[in-house]
Amino acid sequence: MKKITSKLIAGFALAALIAGKSAAQSNTNSLNNNTMENTSIHYRTTKVNGLNIFYREAGKAEAPTILLLHGYPTSSHMFRNLIPILKEKYHVIAPDLPGFGYSDAPDHQSFIYTFDNVAGTVQQFIDQLGLKRFAIYIFDYGAPVGLRIALANPEKITGIISQNGNAYEEGLSHEWNLIQKYWKDPSQVNREALRDFVSEKATWFQYHEGVSDPSLIAPEAYILDQHFLDRPGNIEIQLDLVKDYRTNLALYPKFHEYFKKYQPKALLVWGNKDPYFLPAGACAYQQDLHDTKLKFYDTGHFALETNAKEIGADILEFMATLPR
């Protein structure tokens, strides 16, 4: 692995920040407003329960909506190649979760970082934007967040797209062993043992493990993620979420009950060499859901980095079958 220098991280991060701000400013230009509304990606921020929540929005507001929920350690930036594919036919919303990306990341003592609280913030975000019906794209941390939203709003969910978004214990690999040890004994010693989880080496591993052609991985993706991970105090935020992840496993039976009762149509698009969420986790959905399409891609955890065009095409085909 090539060492990511702090200077390089800062440079990429600054470039991303400038690009985001510039795009946001340009989108406020009134020239050709109607055309821009239909073709541009807008970078917005809204206040939700005292937090500034950043989100990307594209497509016509009257079109069917897709809510994209990112995972760890990334942000809505992970959808930068997917949104242009989807926005021609659909209304796309992609927020940064609290503690991630350009959304606020308050100190872990002033905001309790649990998946319940993160999902509660997303729920308020949904209500504030007035989203009545939408499909959800769930990935990594976005899976337990999105499935909590589905439990609370079954009438709103038109379909589920799970891209390495685990909901079954069969999907957990040995990479979770040290984390599960922390769940069983949340001592300071076991917490300290997980500090490498947010290191640049671990971030690089998440992006590259299982990828047959590493040249497809854009360096700005994992460098930007690491920039946010390295913010003062962020390591405690991430370790709090790692600790609370055990509550997601406790909710798996309720997620399965939701699947059985409401039978949402599902598209399962999975990197088959994901070091964290195994292919068995994708297959397990079919135990409870009758109407699913399952497709494996020869890639790792961040499948959109290598297969955005193919996944985008599969989503377009899937969305065309959903009720509005």
301 Cβ neighbours under 8 A, 6+ residues apart: 140, 164, 206, 207, 209, 210, 271, 274, 275, 276, 277
**What type of residue is 155?**
E
Check if 301 is active-site.
Answer: yes
Task: Measure the CA–CA gap between 60 and 89, rounded to whole angstroms.
Answer: 8
Task: Measure the CA–CA gap between 255 and 43, rounded to whole angstroms.
Answer: 32
Task: Measure the CA–CA gap between 141 and 149, rounded to whole angstroms.
Answer: 13
> Edge to edge, what strands does the sheet with 51-58 contain?
41-48, 51-58, 91-95, 65-69, 134-138, 157-162, 266-271, 292-297
Return phi, psi of residue 52, to 5°: -80, 115
- Please measure the distance between the N-terminal and C-terminal CA atoms of the chain and give it in whole angstroms: 46
Which member of 70, 91, 227, 301 is catalytic?
301
Task: Measure the CA–CA gap between 167 and 175, rounded to whole angstroms.
Answer: 16
**What type of residue is 234?**
N
Bridge partners of residue 51, in order along the sequence: 48
Instruction: Cite the active site residues.
Output: 301
